[in-house]
Amino acid sequence: MQLSKKRPSINPSDLMNLIRYPTHHDASTARTVTIGNFDGVHRGHTAILDALAKQANQQGLAPTVITFDPNPKAFFAQLHGKPAPQRVSPLRDKITFIKQHGVNDVVLMRFNQALANMPATDFVEHILVESLNTRDLLIGDDFRFGAGRTGDFNLLQDMGEQHGFTVTSLHSVLHAEERISSTAVRTAIAKGQLPLATALLGHDYTLSGHIIYGQQLGRTIGIPTINLKMPDNLVAQGIFAVTVELNGRVHQGVASIGTRPSVKTNGQCWCEVYIFDFNETVYGDMAHVTLHHKIRDEAKFDGLDALMLAIQQDIRDARAFFAAHA
């Protein structure tokens, strides 16, 4: 099975070299800036990121991305007691993909009530101008910001004239005549349509993390797994045929992603992977798990015997998938 050339390669510095609280100190560098959530970093996002890097290089500026955690939509959903939108990628993968497109700095802003209440004009003056010394600003054609979503392209153009920065709006990227969006990617993944999700993303759908100790249940039944902690609201849930890049080698396997309803759990989302023909101690190592095919949804089984039978069938199904797509 061919792996995309754009699978993320985790650099430990990606999460260390973040600007979390932009201040006047950061204004010593003139920047080309874009703003967005970038969940999944799909083809629409990468078009903006590539344009950002190209324009910054032409102008001798630092390409910079402002993004948010949590997703503002998730913040407002929780505030109003509504279900939060699921996320495509863990934060680590999002930052890594962003930086792969020539971005020097990522400004990761905590989205809280204070930021939600900030007027659009204040965001421009305090964040874009005073803290980041923005010279060029690139945005998507649907971009809105500020309290009440009052900030738009026209406001940015007016304020750019006042403060000496240019504003460029980029058109949406289409797939099959439909606009590519994180919502479309989430829908495809939730439906198990991984080939469509990959086409929208422009890269393999990969989840990364350090391998940590689990409950060791799989080892007691002869099916040892590696365990990666995932965001609680990850959109990928179920059983999948996967490949795992681990210490420079790629292995096939089957992954269970979710809250493990058949075992005692606290509701935490896990990615548990049984790697075929593998028996090494890899705790603490970084693993990149690429989802290729959804086998089934998560299910709760009555007893360990029923669970083992299901797992054995999942392994057979995953092996059959890879044999058919060799």
Q: What is the pLDDT of residues 270-280, one digit of tens each?
A: 999 999 999 99
Split at pLDDT 50, 70, 90, the class of 219 is: confident
324: nearest Cα among 254, 244, 241: 241
User: What residue ranges do the domains of the chain occupy?
Assistant: 12-175, 205-324
pLDDT for 169 equals: 97
CB atoms closer than 10 angstroms to residue 234: 19
Residues 231, 97, 35: CA angle, nearest 5 degrees: 90
pLDDT for 5 equals: 40
Rg (CA), the chain: 21
* Better-scored residue on pLDDT, 139 or 25: 139
Helix (H, G, I), strand (E, B) or coil at 5: coil
State in Å, rounded, how far the first CA of the chain is from the last one: 5
Residue 1 clears pLDDT 70, i.e. is over it: no
129: nearest Cα among 55, 66, 59: 66
Split at pLDDT 50, 70, 90, the class of 285 is: very high
Q: In this structure, what token pair is assigned to residue 291?
A: 């989802």
Residue whose token pair is 């999944």: 40
Which stretch of DSSP H or E encloses residue 148? none
Tell me the CATH architecture of domain 205-324: Beta Barrel (2.40)
Split at pLDDT 50, 70, 90, the class of 261 is: confident
Question: Which residues are 108's β-sheet partners?
Answer: 67
* Better-scored residue on pLDDT, 267 or 243: 243
Q: Tell me the pLDDT of the chain averaged across its residues.
A: 92
Split at pLDDT 50, 70, 90, the class of 263 is: confident
Tell me the CATH architecture of domain 12-175: 3-Layer(aba) Sandwich (3.40)
Helix (H, G, I), strand (E, B) or coil at 286: strand
- Sheet of strand 166-170, all strands in order from the earlier edge strand to the far edge: 18-19, 105-110, 62-69, 31-35, 134-140, 166-170
Split at pLDDT 50, 70, 90, the class of 153 is: very high
Contact indicator for 241, 321 with CB cutoff of 8 Å: yes
E-strand stretches of 104-156: 105-110, 134-140
Distance between CA atoms of residues 290 and 252, nearest Å: 10
Torsion of CA 224, 226, 227, 233, to 10 degrees: -110
Residue whose token pair is 């990606």: 14
**Average pLDDT, integer, range 182-195:** 97
pLDDT for 6 equals: 47
Split at pLDDT 50, 70, 90, the class of 262 is: low
pTM: 0.91
Question: Which residues are 57's β-sheet partners?
Answer: none
Contact indicator for 218, 272 with CB cutoff of 8 Å: yes
Residue 21 clears pLDDT 50, i.e. is over it: yes
